[in-house]
């Protein structure tokens, strides 16, 4: 008598792979939808800042807000709490994304990371060179890093509009490139846009790190338990003169990648997935609302410096990003450092390069650090908005053209 084959539990590797792909699918879905929300927030900010109620737009973000407990209070503008405190949560998610990708994702080995690493570095260096070539004045040169960043939410959101005609590995390449881009942006902020360091703050920051390590050592898995150490770390970095949002990156990189118990998700995945919707639909749109409102009448493009900043940002993102991504990728393949993944052609790499020109969130964030002059800051923001719009349109056009043609460009020999 034939027996029905026994149903065996799937191997552990398959379970891990299934969870990883499910997490990636959810991540991409959140990014795609949040890109639309981010766009709407930016549109509202622009309309509000250029409407008869424009004075109220600027007044609300500069309104003082006091936060604290008992004698420990701090009064800062609402804009400060959004850009310097709330954005730390955004950087926390970024740090956890980096940590997870290094552990088991697209950055887990040199073979996997070589192509997106080369593409990302090319996409940072070429835009920076284009911007600096057009902005030799020291007052505008500080914005050299503005066009080096890629906005994950917008880029993935635009890619999602192209549907299933785009191979899955193209999406993975874009995601990996954007994550490496974030790593570079974090390093740039840390080394180039932090003030003179007050080393006494390092003791406070070190205390925060020690508190995190202590909680991890005794097996505390609740995310709420790490709020106080995170606040101590944030205060320490603020005291040192480094940008306090870097506290989020530090905490993200310290988040364990292995589950505390045999069953259940790893903290880095569990916390990231819990925070990601709040960041995607709350923190980032609020940041866009507070920072994308460029009053066009207030930006005098007739001024040489302002014009150079806007032109430098636009050309660097729209031309520099695709040239850098495509050129560095081609060079890495020709040198034998890597090869194109299955399903990815040079037209696909070109699409990734075009979409990488969507700078938005991180680019505007760096602009707020680079420029104190409202005129230059407005010019930089205007350049980021224009470049991101043009890059999105070019990326969509290129993607739809490739889908319509029904064929892919063969890899170069």
- Please give the C-alpha separations between residue 313 and each of 114, 134, 245, in angstroms, as whole numbers: 27, 9, 24
Give me the pLDDT at residue 255, please.
87
Q: What average pLDDT does this structure show over 52-67?
A: 89
What pLDDT is recorded for position 384?
93
Q: Taking residues 205-218, what's their average pLDDT? A: 91
Of how many residues is the chain composed? 413
* pLDDT of 262: 47
Whole-structure pTM value:
0.74
pLDDT of residue 36: 78
Q: What is the mean pLDDT of the chain?
A: 82
End-to-end CA distance of the chain: 58
Closest among 228, 122, 145, 232 to 194, alpha carbons compared:
145
pLDDT of residue 18: 58
d(CA 259, CA 286): 33
At residue 232, does pLDDT exceed 60? yes
Q: How far is CA 308 from CA 64, 260, 323, 398, in A?
A: 34, 53, 21, 28
Q: How confident is the model at residue 195 (pLDDT cuts 50, 70, 90)?
A: low
pLDDT higher at 2 or 226: 226
Residue 379 CA to residue 400 CA, distance in Å, equals: 32
Residue 23 makes CB contacts below 8 A (sequence gap 6+) with 269, 273
How far apart, in whole angstroms, are the C-alpha atoms of residue 347 and residue 413?
14
Asked whether 44 and 289 are in contact (CB, 8 A), the reply is yes
Largest interatomic CA distance in the chain: 90
Report the CATH superfamily, name and number, of domain 21-194+243-405.
Answer: Na+/H+ antiporter like domain (1.20.1530.10)
Distance CA 187, CA 42 (A): 26
User: Which of 218-227's residues contact partners 24+ apart within 8 Å by CB, and which partners?
Assistant: 219/260, 221/260, 221/267, 223/267, 223/271, 223/274, 226/251
Specify the higher pLDDT residue, 190 or 22: 190
pLDDT in tens, 103-152: 877 677 777 788 989 999 999 999 999 999 999 999 999 999 999 988 87
Span 259-286, pLDDT tens digits:
765 456 778 878 888 888 888 888 888 9
- Angle of CA points 210, 197, 239, to nearest 5°: 55
DSSP state of 75: E
Structural domain boundaries of the chain? Answer: 21-194+243-405
Question: Of residues 328 and 281, which shows the higher confidence score?
Answer: 328
pLDDT of residue 44: 92
Confidence of residue 25 (pLDDT cuts 50, 70, 90): low
């Amino acid at each position: 008598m034939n027996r029905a084959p026994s149903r065996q539990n799937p191997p552990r590797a398959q379970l891990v792979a299934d969870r990883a792909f499910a997490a990636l699918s959810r991540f991409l879905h959140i990014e795609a939808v949040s890109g639309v929300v981010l766009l709407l927030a930016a549109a509202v900010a622009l309309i509000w800042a250029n409407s008869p109620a424009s004075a109220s737009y600027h007044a609300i973000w500069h309104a003082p807000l006091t936060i604290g407990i008992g004698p420990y209070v701090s009064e800062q503008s609402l804009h400060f709490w959004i850009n310097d405190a709330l954005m730390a949560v955004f950087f926390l998610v970024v740090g956890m994304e980096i940590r997870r990708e290094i552990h088991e994702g697209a950055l887990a080995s040199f073979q996997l990371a070589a192509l997106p690493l080369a593409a990302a570095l090319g996409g940072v260096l070429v835009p920076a060179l284009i911007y600096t070539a057009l902005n030799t004045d020291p007052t505008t040169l500080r914005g050299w890093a503005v066009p080096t960043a890629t906005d994950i939410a917008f880029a993935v959101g635009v890619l999602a509009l192209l549907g299933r005609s785009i191979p899955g590995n193209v999406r993975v390449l874009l995601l990996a490139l954007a994550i490496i881009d974030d790593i570079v942006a974090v390093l740039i902020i840390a080394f180039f846009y932090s003030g003179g360091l007050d080393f006494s703050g390092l003791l406070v920051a070190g205390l925060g790190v020690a508190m995190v390590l202590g909680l991890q050592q005794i097996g505390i898995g609740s995310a709420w338990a790490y709020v106080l150490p995170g606040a101590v770390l944030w205060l320490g970095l603020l005291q040192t003169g480094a940008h306090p949002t870097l506290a989020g990156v530090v905490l993200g990189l310290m988040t364990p990648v292995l589950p505390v118990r045999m069953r259940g998700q790893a903290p880095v995945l569990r916390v990231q997935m819990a925070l990601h919707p709040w960041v995607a639909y709350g923190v980032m749109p609020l940041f866009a609302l507070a920072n994308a409102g460029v009053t066009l009448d207030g930006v005098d493009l007739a001024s040489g410096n302002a014009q150079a900043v806007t032109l430098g940002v636009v050309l660097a993102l729209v031309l520099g990003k695709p040239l850098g991504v495509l050129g560095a990728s081609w060079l890495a393949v020709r040198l034998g450092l890597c090869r194109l993944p299955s399903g990815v052609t040079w037209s696909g790499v070109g699409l990734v390069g075009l979409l990488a020109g969507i700078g938005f969130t991180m680019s505007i964030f760096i602009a707020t650090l680079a420029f104190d002059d409202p005129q230059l800051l407005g010019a930089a923001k205007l350049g980021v908005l224009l470049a991101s719009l043009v890059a999105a349109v070019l990326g969509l056009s290129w993607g739809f053209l490739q889908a319509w043609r029904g064929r892919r460009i063969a890899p170069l020999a």
